[in-house]
Chains A and B, each alone.
Chain A
Amino acid sequence: MACSPGSHETCTDTVLSLRGVSYRYAGATDPAIRDVDLTLQDGELLGIVGASEAGKTTLCLVAAGLAPRTIRGSLSGTVHLDGEDAASLQMHELAARIGICFQRPWTQLSGVCETVFEEVAFGPMNLGVPRQETLARTDEALTALAITDVASRDPARLSGGQMQLVAIAGLLAMEPAHLVLDEPTAQLDPAGTRLVADALARLAANGASILIAEQRTDLLAALCSRIIVLQAGRVIRDGPTVEVLTDPELPRQGVPETSAGRLRRLATEAGIATELLDQALD
């Protein structure tokens, strides 16, 4: 059963499971993540928050199977994808099932495609998707992110925000069942952030399971059914979005307040009754 964005419905069918996972980068003395237990249900949008260096990116890399396979390091614990041990899957099999988007858009470009269209089609071509289907998927992905007007442009000449949208479109064109997004809106303006949020909500409504690490708690509040808080590589909180993001301890743990949370706090500090504010925000 798929979960609605922002809802607290119970989802079934675990698609991604991390049990007792610790990961230490090669040459590092301490693990970047420690004893992480995480489950992503079918159709769920799970948010990850935490201060800088809390381990969000590492968790994303482990969840997508890139660590330790592509990055040298040592992993303990188990990672299961669709019920299978992720370590037993080939990298391209993982790529077909779980897509990952990184923070820095310019390193996600292939560097060999002359147009945005070819860049977005790069992933499906690699997966051996037939030509006509690749063309159709590429068109759909460009339309979903409203970047058809830059389809003929050189992706290396785009702004950072446009590049990130192209990178996400490239991910969508591969049609993975699950997505891992590491701060996908870091380089985007509010309009771009809205586009990405809308696209993610559509994907989740269509049954995609999404793990998203973000600093923009407003975005997570609108999209996610559940939030995990990371601190120093450990999961310190795992619960429904409303409960986690309204925790007054969160700012002390390096997690920004949501705008609604900040308004409520300021109103309370100013002695203003919050009932009307709650009605307006709800």
Chain B
Amino acid sequence: MPAFLERSPPSRWHALNPLTKLIFATVTALVGLIVGGLIGPLILVTVAVLLPASVAGVLSRLVRTSVLVSLPIAISTLLINVFFFPGGQDVLLRLGPVVATREGVSFALEILARILTISGAITLFYLTTRPSELVLDLESRGVSPRVAFVAHASVQTVPAMLERASNIVAAQRARGLDTEGSLVRRIRGLLPVVAPVVLGSIVEVEERTLALEARGFTRPGRRALLWFPADSARQRAARWLLVSAVPAAALAAAYGLLAWLP
């Protein structure tokens, strides 16, 4: 097999099986939801997101991406809970009819910690796992090639459409389309581009479907894969352990065993 297909991962974290990383991210997100308070999720973010990200060499990218992705929901969550928390007594700030209470701030921070845990876990998975690796791994475990293809192609669709849109905008700019200036002017300039992007994508789907059919894509049964990510007994055991952490955390929370966490 060509050497370039045996891709050497940049870190030990990258080298983990994609399913292991996926389960790790999912369990981290779920446990982050289950564990109450502020400190619990923060400990989880530190141990299960920031530490692996540091090992993988993607810490700064993770923080940047995770914060950006979480920002809109974080801002709205903060504002709603700080100023409209029901039953808040300890007033910190009054702005006309709305009041910011300590209880509201406390609750908002807890929600924010959970949001950061979830977005951090997902971002870590995204930054350290190639979609093709995950898809091939799933296919090697028996997932239908058609399902795997749809999942993979869906991930590729957005960047492909963005690139198409960029090319169309560049071509239209060369023909005098004005896409700079005020917001209204830019929207007016970009509206004519929407139709070609969407229609072009639809036409491409039909042509690509023909090409896939012509390459035997609809043949039932499994394919003989050229390669798929490595796995190990240790990782399999770790995955089962991780999965069992979710009901364990749920039971612990239900029986108040996590109440000591502020």
- Interface residue ranges, A against B (CB under 8 Å): 61, 64, 66, 69-71, 90-92, 95-96, 99-100, 102, 104, 107-115, 117-118, 121-123, 125-131, 134-135, 151-152, 156, 167, 170, 174
Report if A123-B215 is in contact (Cβ < 8 Å); known contacts: A111-B160, A117-B5, A152-B2.
Answer: yes
Within 8 Å CB of A90, what residues of B? Answer: 218-219
Within 8 Å CB of A131, what residues of B? Answer: 224-226
5 A-B residue pairs with CB within 8 Å: A92-B217, A110-B212, A117-B5, A127-B216, A128-B224
Kindly report which residue of chain B lies nearest to residue A101, judged by CB atoms: B214
Within 8 Å CB of B156, what residues of A? Answer: 111-112
Q: Which of B204, B206, B226 has the most chain A CB atoms inside 10 A of its CB?
A: B226
A135 to B3, CA, bound (A): 12
A102 touching B210, Cβ below 8 Å: yes
B207 touching A135, Cβ below 8 Å: no
Extra 4 A-B pairs, beta carbons < 8 Å, given A95-B216, A114-B130, A122-B215:
A96-B216, A104-B207, A126-B145, A170-B215
Within 8 Å CB of A128, what residues of B? Answer: 219, 221-224
Question: Could you say which of A71, A96, A170 contacts B210, with CB atoms under 8 Å apart?
Answer: A71
A92 touching B224, Cβ below 8 Å: no
B208 close to A (CB within 8 Å): yes
- For residues 93 through 117 of chain B, which have their beta carbon under 8 Å from a beta carbon of chain A? none
Q: How many A-B residue pairs have CB under 8 A?
A: 105
- For residues 194 through 219 of chain B, which have their beta carbon under 8 Å from a beta carbon of chain A? 204, 206-219
B210 touching A66, Cβ below 8 Å: yes
User: DSSP majority for the B interface?
Assistant: helix
A92 to B216, CA, bound (A): 4
Q: Which of B5, B132, B156, B215 has the most chain A CB atoms inside 10 A of its CB?
A: B215
Question: Could you say which of B211, B217, B221 contacts A108, with CB atoms under 8 Å apart?
Answer: B211
- For residues 126 through 159 of chain B, which have their beta carbon under 8 Å from a beta carbon of chain A? 130, 132, 135, 145, 149, 152-153, 156
B219 touching A70, Cβ below 8 Å: no
Within 8 Å CB of B224, what residues of A? Answer: 125, 128-131, 134
B149 touching A112, Cβ below 8 Å: yes
B153 touching A126, Cβ below 8 Å: no
Within 8 Å CB of B216, what residues of A? Answer: 91-92, 95-96, 123, 126-127, 174
A20 to B156, CA, bound (A): 43
Within 8 Å CB of B1, what residues of A? Answer: 135
A91 touching B226, Cβ below 8 Å: no
A229 to B39, CA, bound (A): 78
B4 close to A (CB within 8 Å): yes
